[in-house]
Structure 1
Amino acid sequence: MSDTRSLPVPDGLDGLRLDQAVSRLFGLSRTAAAALVEAGDALVDGFPRPKADKVSAGSWLEVTLPAPPAAIEVVPQAVPGLRVIYADDDIVVVDKPVGVAAHPSPGWSGPTVIGGLAAVGHRISTSGAAERQGIVHRLDVGTTGVMVVAKSEHAYSALKRAFKEREVDKRYHAVVQGHLDPLRGTVDAPIDRHPTHDYKWAVMSGGKPSVTHYDTLEAFPAASLVDVRLETGRTHQIRVHFSAMRHPCVGDLTYGADPTLAARLKLSRQWLHARALSFLHPRTGEEVRFVSDYPDDLAQALAILRDAA
């Protein structure tokens, strides 16, 4: 059932494009807001307007919001390559392959960690949204490596708090283009949604605080292997920070990587791997650490770089 809202344009949105104003006011993506305007579901002072029209403070905005999407169901589905590293009554630690999302979401019909675990009989915590049960952190679909999922309610609460309080040591390995200067350092730059591309994120002055520590492990003529420790956990954080330094992850065409180098290394995604995860076990309080080896495509790309060095 659709929902119609009527309200004056606030002073803070004066002069914005209509699609931007609708996006800001109702928390919609720019794409969704633009589609809504183009469908004639956003009226300004009683009349439809083009999405690029500027709005004025005090103008009356009437917007018909689409019905909320139906709840997404978790479907047990075997996921080839999804390996359980460790499991007990509280947690399950997996080695996530490429092409697998953490949980179901609108627009994603591919395999998920949650669906894969359900297929092999792991009961997951019921905390959180139905489709995100047990998920306390996520890896991008195109990022491989180690990931923990909560199985008990206690573990879910404890791990969510630990991630929020930055008590979890998250280590990634990345191959980035060029040579970093300095070889070891920290990137402290806020991240928010990209102003024009919904599927991307960017360093933005008004974004959320985002801190990435890095250390060069090995250098090649065209690239560097780096160890990365995340202090925060923003969406695409590593990819955005290295791209902002003009050293994008090799193969990450979304964030400006060289397609020629990606092709030479036979990469069809970013060279980025969640290498290790350390945290206090939510039940015993003892520190546990889990490590994931490089998958075949990343190992092969690294071998090509080493052979050429």
Structure 2
Amino acid sequence: MISTYDSGPARAVGDQRSLPVPDGLDGMRLDQAVARLFGLSRTAAAALVEAGDALVDGVARPKSDKVSAGSWLEVTLPAPPVAPQIIPQAVPGLRVIYADDDIVVVDKPVGVAAHPSPGWTGPTVIGGLAGIGHTIATSGAAERQGVVHRLDVGTTGVMVVAKSEQAYSSLKRAFKVREVEKRYHAVVQGHLDPLRGTVDAPIDRHPHHDYRWAVVADGKPSITHYDTLEAFPSASLLDVRLETGRTHQIRVHLSALRHPCVGDLTYGADPTLSGRLKLERQWLHARELSFLHPRTAEEVRFVSDYPDDLKNALAILRD
């Protein structure tokens, strides 16, 4: 039998909360129970328990202890995080490819995040644009206003940001209904079979590692199309087209095929090959972006050249 319970009051943050363990969580690990009841990540819940901020019947217990229905749970929740601020700054290597009153298209360098986020202290695309005088749309969360899609910190290439509110709404819709064509180039380990194909596999957070994503049965639908452009003895250069836009989608799908992006140690790349190619990040580049301009409705297309580290790795593979 599955019991239901009202977890609404338990979602308050920045204070102490007390409630009985519901029947539906009987026998669950303490950290899992805290995560479920208070809407925390498993990692955050475990840290809270280990800090002694989760008491069961007035006693601090290990995170792996099982809870019993009816036991009294007292939790001191952390204060709500302060929203990251956009800091205008010069961002070396950030190049504006195109700009008008509605959009700005940039060539994002490695080591730059799309927008501020908790825990990130490095440069951002939004901060870099503010630093050179671009006014961005105010739609969206405060720290990511104008951002309609993102690239990983370690992924380079073409990215569009909305400057007008009309452009923001139009581009958000276009990305959602898959009217934007996003093409990436990736160098992966080994040779894919078939050389051209489609990966249709759902993606969600990794069940054991919060910083990773994975193919999981109940994840969000995710579709990646690939085509082999060039083959080397130990690797292949792929043209990749995204039909959906999940976090780390290309990296996760290629890793699931056992052909991770070269240099992508997070998703199983060979560190020896990465070292030989002098790569300190995944060989993955947002090569091309095309969409209907939000004001003129004419198709626009933008292309980004490979940065030096990816060019050098390709040169070594071709030798």
- Please give the TM-score of this superposition, normalised by the length of structure 2: 0.92
- 2:52 is matched with 40
CA separation of 1:154 and 1:57: change in aligned 2, threshold 3 A: farther
Secondary structure at 2:188 match in 1: strand
CA separation of 1:207 and 1:25: change in aligned 2, threshold 3 A: farther
Instruction: State how far apart, in whole Å, the 1-side matches of 2:66 and 2:200 are.
Output: 34
- Counterpart mapping for 1:32-181 below 5 A: 32-181=44-193
Instruction: State how far apart, in whole Å, the 1-side matches of 2:17 and 2:200 are.
Output: 39
Secondary structure at 1:172 match in 2: strand
Instruction: State how far apart, in whole Å, the 2-side matches of 1:82 and 1:214 are.
Output: 28
Give the partner amino acid of 2:187. Answer: V
Unaligned runs of 5+ in 1: none
- 2:280 is matched with 268
**CA deviation profile, 1:92-139 (whole Å, cap 9, x unmatched):** 000000000001111111000000000000000111111101111100
- 1:289 is matched with 301
Instruction: State how far apart, in whole Å, the 1-side matches of 2:28 and 2:207 are.
Output: 13
CA separation of 1:5 and 1:280: change in aligned 2, threshold 3 A: farther
**CA deviation profile, 1:58-107 (whole Å, cap 9, x unmatched):** 54433221111122211101000000000011100000000000011111
State the shift of 1:12 in Å. 4.8
Give the partner amino acid of 1:82. Answer: L
Give the partner amino acid of 2:15. Answer: D
- Counterpart mapping for 1:165-244 below 5 A: 165-244=177-256
Instruction: State how far apart, in whole Å, the 2-side matches of 1:214 and 1:56 are.
Output: 50
State the shift of 1:8 in Å. 4.1
State the shift of 1:273 in Å. 0.2
Give the partner amino acid of 2:95. Answer: R
Secondary structure at 1:278 match in 2: strand
CA separation of 1:65 and 1:304: change in aligned 2, threshold 3 A: same
State the shift of 1:10 in Å. 4.4
Higher mean C-alpha deviation, range 36-45 or range 239-248: 36-45
State the shift of 1:145 in Å. 0.2
CA separation of 1:207 and 1:24: change in aligned 2, threshold 3 A: farther
Give the partner amino acid of 1:181. Answer: D
Give the partner amino acid of 2:308. Answer: D
- Please give the TM-score of this superposition, normalised by the length of structure 1: 0.95
Q: Contact 2:110 / 2:156 at 8 angstroms: preserved in 1?
A: yes
**CA deviation profile, 1:136-172 (whole Å, cap 9, x unmatched):** 1100000000000010111111111111111111100
Instruction: State how far apart, in whole Å, the 2-side matches of 1:74 and 1:255 are.
Output: 30
- RMSD, matched Cα: 1.5
